[in-house]
Amino acid sequence: MSDSEQQEKRTVERRLMDTEVTFHTEDDIYMARSVDLSDAGIRIITDQPVDIRIQIKEEDKLVQYDAQLVWSRLKDDGTMEYGLKY
Q: Which residue has the higher pLDDT, 2 or 19?
A: 19
pTM: 0.56
3-state secondary structure 34-46: EEEECCCCEEEEC
- For residue range 33-49, what is the model confidence (pLDDT) as tens digits? 989 888 888 888 888 87
CB 52 within 8 A of CB 69: yes
